[in-house]
Amino acid sequence: MFVRELCGLDRRAAQQALESFIEGKQLGARQLDFITLVIDVVVQRGVIGVSDLYDAPFTDRAPNGPEDLFANEEIDALEIPFRELQNRACPAALAA
């Protein structure tokens, strides 16, 4: 985790991690902008949590949090790729 947080993550890997969330949705411009920001932050930090979506720079795009742009179920669904990113950053022995 420490190395991932220092080095970040490849943009393609970050995009792939969020494909399952985006797939099959008709996202508006503001939603796409928010997801692009999520990808940018994942590339920089390597990992992210749903709680991070309530802090800057996300609140610059959605002042009241992701609920400004997504339904609660969609926000909950974001936790799946976020956890996968965290699990991949941890050695298997530590992830359990």
CB 7 within 8 A of CB 46: yes
Residues 28-85: tens digit of each pLDDT: 999 999 999 999 999 888 889 999 999 999 999 999 999 999 999 999 999 999 988 8
Q: What is the pLDDT of residue 95?
A: 46
- Report how far apart, in Å, the C-alpha atoms of 30 and of each of 61, 70, 80, 81 are: 8, 10, 22, 20
Contact 81, 18 (CB under 8 A): yes
Average pLDDT over residues 12-31: 92
Q: 7 pLDDT band (50/70/90 cuts)?
A: low
pLDDT for 4 equals 52
CB 77 within 8 A of CB 66: no
The Cβ of residue 96 has, within 10 Å, a number of other Cβ atoms equal to 7
